[in-house]
Structure 1
Amino acid sequence: MDEAASLPNDPYASLRFKEFRYFLVIRFALIFALAMQFAIVEWKVYQLTHDPLNLGLIGLAEFVPAISLALFAGNIVDKREKRGMVLKCIVGYLFTGTGLFLLTWDHLMSGIPLPTVLLLIYLLVFCGGIIRAFTSPSNFTLLSLLVPRPLYANATTWSTSAWQIGAIAGPALGGLCMGWLGIHWSMLLVIGFVLVALFCILHISTKPVFYKEIGETVKERLTKGLKFVWNTKVLLNAMALDMFAVLFGGSVAMMTIYANDILHIGPAGFGAMRAAPAVGAFLTLLMLAYRPIITKPGIKLLAAVFAFGVCIIVFGLSRNFLLSLAALFFSGMMDGVSVIIRQTILQLKTPDDMRGRVSSVSSIFVGSSNELGSFESGVAARIMGPVGSVVFGGCMTLAVVITTYVISPAMRKLDLKA
């Protein structure tokens, strides 16, 4: 192990740590299950209502608690043992997944009015948002306790790539399973992956807590992460860039409509579209594990997000299934690059005793923007149609990148070796 720790340039160095390997499985299995669950819920709700605004409300139902509790959750995570926090989050997801499994059982729900079924679905998604507020900072801080500091960048590459692949491969398999097994039994697979995460967390030992009471008020503890990010301009710029890119450039919420009403490819084609970015993300994993981004990471981050915006525009305008797949494939590659750079910045620049709070601030900027972006896409689709919504979002992403390049010298001069 000491030899592996002394070789930060070894692309497999962090994988030589057994507990980190279990962590990677947790990271993949959990996001795989949750992303698959989100896609299944989207498909079910659209099947019940045929209203794009209801798709946006799913994202809003998760966004509200995740954003509202983020600072509070980060403070709690910094003060608690991290392995135990991740365990509690996994158990919580097991309960919400079981509830959604029951709500997608048509035989069980046959006598219940549609508004009640929708309300119960939104309620469980809301509970998932509460759990998510604690999951993000818990995972972030646990990673830093599993490998030596010289391997943070390498571990972050593997961790964020596992997350990226799971986030897109989950709903991809969800689409395929809905075609093969139906919506209800596809939800059972979600529960299975959560159980895999539960099995793996039990093989990670408890970890030390670095938080020390220094007489701070509750307000000071809750806002310390915000102040740190505000004063660390590289972190602030990276988070803001990714937030606006995801907010405006996310095409995920409209994929259901594209599969149903524009490309006419059904649930199997829907799964293939969701799989295309996963393949791109996987190739990103392979390339960046062997060739980590060291020189001019800020410029490369901006270029990746700009290319992501272009891919979203192409997807929005495409009426050809293969062209749509290609656009989504390259969007996955570009998104993978941006996520890995941002998470590496976060790991290297954050003090140990503030990881939970700073990660929670990151979740406010970035993580919840996925759900808010889904709501924005739903509202925009109601106003200008699904195609106009996706193209508008891609154009706004390009505008955000250009603006960031002009006003942020800290981003242009970013150096991960510093």
Structure 2
Amino acid sequence: MHLFQTDDDSPMRLPAFRLYVGALVLGTLAIQIQTVTIAWQVFDITKSNHANAALALGAVGLAEVIPFVSSVLFAGHVADKNNRRFIACTSLTVMLLLSLLLFLPSLIATSWLKLCLLYGVVIGGGLARSFLTTARQAMIAEILQRSQIPSAVRWRNTLFELSSVIGPGFAGLLIWLNGEYLAYSVSSILFIAALLNNLSIKTSHELQSRQPEPILQSLRTGIHFMLSQRAMLGAFTLDLFAVLFGGAVALLPIFAEMLNVGPLGFGLLRAATSCGAVIMSIYL
């Protein structure tokens, strides 16, 4: 329970780290609100047939996961060789522009065109998020001393999971209050705030870049390292299969309708999946 102790060496005493976690929290809230709202809107379009709704909701998850997983190694290579803050800011800008496209379905009468637009935004968001995630993880070593990194990682993970709890519940509340477009508006504002926070971060030192090497060699080195670390590989594989085959989170809008709890209940159901992670992050 020593997470919230702020001794002299605490990373939270540094303005750059506070801006960093501020950008993390704001960006995570924006992504969670957007993700939950898109899922609810897809369900609303397809709910006349539960079989079609289940397929459409599952496709939302695939549309996000496949671009993210397929590009994350390349994103890591790019983050290795370039300015991480610039990559993070560019990714947030792309996600902001994509969030503005979510206002267009109100102008489209055809359901399948609405779905195509929503899936397109999800695919683009998955790609942008892979670059944001890798750049953001590397940035932490540019603003802190090595001795501060373990504490900083605990702060980062706890605040990320806390945002993952608040975001879906807040999204459900916004949809319940005034529909999807209020939620999209709040999400866009949060993306802007996250971008401004990220632009304000001043790195104290640059990471020493390795000598340039071909991308295929860089990817091969990364894969070889992962395969050589049995504990890491086991945890990664277990998590991957649990996420891909063991989760029913994508179908929660259907359960929310069956339980007659509406968008607010759906948001709370989505939030519940991160509650355990928050408790363990605080404990550890």
2:221 to 201, 221, 224: 224
SS in 2 for 1:213: coil
SS in 2 for 1:144: helix
1:97 to 92, 96, 99: 99
RMSD: 2.0
Matched letter for residue 90 of structure 1: L
Q: TM-score, normalised by structure 1?
A: 0.62
SS in 2 for 1:202: helix
CA contact under 8 A between 1:169 and 1:274: conserved in structure 2?
A: no
Q: TM-score, normalised by structure 2?
A: 0.89
SS in 2 for 1:264: coil
SS in 2 for 1:135: helix
Q: Find the counterpart in structure 2 of residue 268 from structure 1.
A: 264
> In structure 2, what is the Cα distance between the partners aligned to 1:115 and 1:10?
49
Deviation of residue 209 (structure 1)? 4.1
SS in 1 for 2:68: helix
Q: Find the counterpart in structure 2 of residue 31 from structure 1.
A: 28
Q: How does 1:8-407 map to 2 (within 5 A)?
A: 11-12=5-6, 13-50=10-47, 51-103=53-105, 106=106, 108-109=107-108, 112-206=109-203, 208-213=206-211, 216-261=213-258, 263-288=259-284
CA contact under 8 A between 1:169 and 1:278: conserved in structure 2?
A: no
Q: 1:241 to 1:172 in 2, by over 3 A?
A: same
> In structure 1, what is the Cα distance between the partners aligned to 2:267 and 2:183?
13
Aligned length: 274
Residue ranges of structure 2 left out of the alignment (5+ in a row): 48-52
> In structure 2, what is the Cα distance between the partners aligned to 1:157 and 1:101?
36
Deviation of residue 282 (structure 1)? 4.0
SS in 2 for 1:15: helix
Structure showing greater radius of gyration is 1
Q: 1:120 to 1:160 in 2, by over 3 A?
A: same
Matched letter for residue 195 of structure 1: I
Q: 1:9 to 1:118 in 2, by over 3 A?
A: closer
C-alpha distance after superposition, 1:161-180 (max 9, x if no partner): 11112223212111111111
Matched letter for residue 170 of structure 2: L
C-alpha distance after superposition, 1:126-170 (max 9, x if no partner): 111111121111011011222222222211111111111222321
CA contact under 8 A between 1:78 and 1:211: conserved in structure 2?
A: yes
CA contact under 8 A between 2:158 and 2:282: conserved in structure 1?
A: no
> In structure 1, what is the Cα distance between the partners aligned to 2:127 and 2:151?
30
Q: Find the counterpart in structure 2 of residue 306 from structure 1.
A: none
